[in-house]
Structure 1
Amino acid sequence: MDEMPFCVHDVLNRPLFQRAIVLAGAQGIYREVRWVHILEIIHAAPYVSKHDLILTTGLWLKRSAKSGLEYMRQIIEHQTAGLCIEFGTTVDEIPDQIIDLCDSYDFPLILFRQPVRFEEITQDIHAHIINQHFGLLKKLEQFSQQQQQLILQSTDIPAILRLLQSYSEHQILYLSRIEANTYFPPLPEEMREAINTFCNQQMKHSDQIQEMELWKMDEHRYVLIQPVVCFGQVFSYVGMLLHQAHPTEYMKLLVDYTSKAVATVLLRTQFLEEKILSNQNELIQDILNRSIDSEEQAQMRMGLPSPNGEKYIFVGGIIEFEHNVIEAGPERMESRNQDVLVLIRSLLKRDRMHHVLMMKNNQIYLLCAKARIGKDSESSLYHKIQGLIDGLNKYINQAWPHFHFHIGFGKSRTMLLDAWMSFKEAFQVIELSQTVPAMKQNHYYASIGVYQLLHAVPYPILSDFVQDQLGDLIAYENKHHLHLIDTLAMYFKCMGSKGETAKRLFIHRQTLYNRLDKISDILGEDYFQPQRRHCLEMAMLGYPLIESYHADQ
């Protein structure tokens, strides 16, 4: 399919233009022609439109060269396609200033040295344009009908893109930020990588493309790109590789129709996923309530292929959002939750992870499964989970810089029925990230160390222990605010090095000596002895947990 619109070059090939010559503006012969207009009056501006080809006998040149220049400037500024002037009827020469003006703007000035019948020219070109448009409309109608049949038959996006390729006869691109880019027909690897690099760079600089754009790859290659938009979000892009910078309306409409068809399929898929999600919500809730009878039944409900005993490993995780209800409002909060949910699904789908999700208030419960193939299966699963966390962090930091959230994942289990413990551990990780500054960037239960033990200690026992070990120091700190607890913690961390402790606390050595003397007065001289030190360190780790418990009461 010719990607060039009907232009001045095509007009010059019509039979009635066999004796015409291009007097000036030869570089502009590929200007598009949409209509032909006969115009003799000097004030041309109100009567011309973009892409009009003007026919004239040059009557406006009879007045003066100045009025002739003004006439030319008007039709050039209105982006007309070109000017055809007839010699012999009114004028016999064209001033050099007009020729130079046309050359400077690459505006085609076409000369008939002998009189011609303008009505024959208009009839010929108008008939050609109308017939061409009618033919394109028939093709568009056929294209649309076949597209609708594909949409009704399946959710096969590649089939829709292959249909676009067959009608346009151009290379088609389907670009996604989540999944791999695809091409119809397939391209050699070297060319595919070059286009991938270019398109990824373009999408990086234009974060949310909402309208059709034309990207220039080099002097001979352009990409006509149209975003696929659902619910106001750009999911992917439909592109067409062109070899010139002015795509026809036909090409634009083909790409536009295709992007809407892909959006329709994505929306239908989304609705199907939402229907499945309601069953997933029930599955996670049943796991949390421990109300499923058998492991095989649980794995079948999760949709795992060949559910069988301990063939899989499972990890539960929770993502919790800190919404500012006053600033965001309930509608925006719900929108953000849905955006994050779609992103999580896309990232998990990219990594081919079996998963189920459940949205509950401001929390997303996530259950991941991976087949146990070898000893590296567990580390591979956590590696993919880390990729999910990195992708989520990147998106939220770019889209909502001041939006806070917490992520926690429990230990892996070989039985789906035991995944409730993984969710319990994930919740403990989130609690720690909210109460203990050192644990803020930790997302895994396996990495919280001694806090696994402290969290398991009943509050009354832990509270009594902290009070016995640090009670006097806490009371003095609350009254005088001398940062004695932080000083003691850093002193232990630096293995008793006073110089290093003062350096890390950004205080003078004498200030540190004064604080340590006061700590000795309160705790006794033996506070650095191994047994006493272990108790104090444990109490300082438990102290934030006690404070958090008090704050929640």
Structure 2
Amino acid sequence: MNDNHPAANGPARPLTVADVLALPVLAAGQPQVVTGVPHLDRPVRWVHITELTDPASFLKGGELVLTTGMPLPDDAAGVRRYVDELADIGAAALVIELVRRYHRPPDALVDACHLRGLPLVTLAKDVNFLEVTQVVHALLLGNQAEAMRRTQHIHEAFTALTLRGAGPEDVLSAAAEMSGRTVVLENLVHQALICEPSGSTVEEALAGWEQRSRATGPGDHTAIRGPEGWLTAPVEYQGERWGRVAMLPGRHDRTDRTDRRDSTDRTDGPTFGPEDITVLERTAMALTVARLIHPTSWERTAHRNVLRDLVEQRHRSPADARTRCAALGLPTDRSRFVVTLVDLGTGHGGTEPETRLFQELRTAGIPALVGELAPDRLGILLALRPSQPWRPVVERLCSTASGLAPQAVVSVGSEVTDLSYTARSFREAVRVAEATPPGQPLPPDRSFHELSDIGLRRLLYALREDTRIQEYTEQRLGRLVDHDTRHGSELLTTLRHYLDAAGNKTTAARRGGLSRETLYQRLRTIERLLDCDLESGEQRTEFHVALAALDVLRAH
């Protein structure tokens, strides 16, 4: 046997008729494929030598039948019956030796095999059939042993995932890696919650997902279904179904199916093998365990992951982002998007607020993604119709959020018209949240904060941990604070009154309860300590900013 033959070391795929014909032991007989060329990819499960007139009674399907032609009936009807029985039982191919009885295949045999799509192969030279069976059976047994090892590896890998409490993302990632195929988890309303692409992009895998999924009929067991030939398995526990997991054919699988359909109008060729079925069934089992031990629902996890990827711009392309959001039910065409952050306060996190806010939006008919972005902070991406105002929707969210946590703070980013711009809107909403101190009064006309609300003090609050702000404040006011501390004076207060009065000394004296002479004396002391000119508008601005920063730093 030639060690360079692809089947020599046990191919990963099943041994096919084409593989067997290429073996040196058969190639020496100068095989000629007379009929059934499109079906040479049929798997060969065994080799059967026969000189019986009814060999099908000893077959189970998938056999390569070897014969010298001696038992073939003489009449055309008998030949048709002989071929029909082989085709009905599922024989892989019929190989006839043209040495003893025939020197060319009988027309009746060729016609019958052609009619039933049974590969008919002739051998021009004598071949040792026993040697053929030994070689092929050795390969098949080797393949079976290798398949058992791979199956054992699959079981061990999924057992390890289950024992360490792996989440659904890890489970699907392992399934895609083991099978080399795209694997998708969907819920009962045909929303794609997790997609692990293999050999394709998310956009290619999930484009038009709901429509394609609904065309792939439901089922109670693992099977190939639908016009695209998906391999699907239900995910359920004690009669309660949660969704299903689908393994998608690769590009080469779709090409093969198209070729077979064009040539024979049949699509019964093997797209998925036994190992693929094992992987998908173990995936469904591992997902069931993950669902039982992880409190966060798949939908909430999916929303969180998509929102975080949008915020951090981790999508492969804008098209992938749109496809992934659309697969979760978010309309991405002709929509306007508004980002909202809800800071619930310490101890008010968990999955209940996410669920409540999502249900509120769903009740209102507002498509949205809702997910936790950080502890006690929820992100919400609203998808609105072009004519739909967003402020009433956010007000409704504010009302629900205050019911969940009375001190909840809602921040809103700018409205955008393209999903690829939502990262910017998220950044704006985060800046608003960072610039909103606890207890910050709301504007009189609304229950949320937006970018236009950020003034000087709120900007400094957002930057309070920046050492440059701290250094600036200390450099401008440190000597004055130290003087007041040592001497019990109130020069800082006097400076505040003076700056608040925009340099009007009479107003500053009245606010501080001082005589004009005392105010003048204190201002001169301040100018000496700080080495400044308080008549300078620019320097007064600098000190005003420093005082605002000092107030923020002291308060927080």
Per the normalisation by structure 2, the TM-score is 0.49
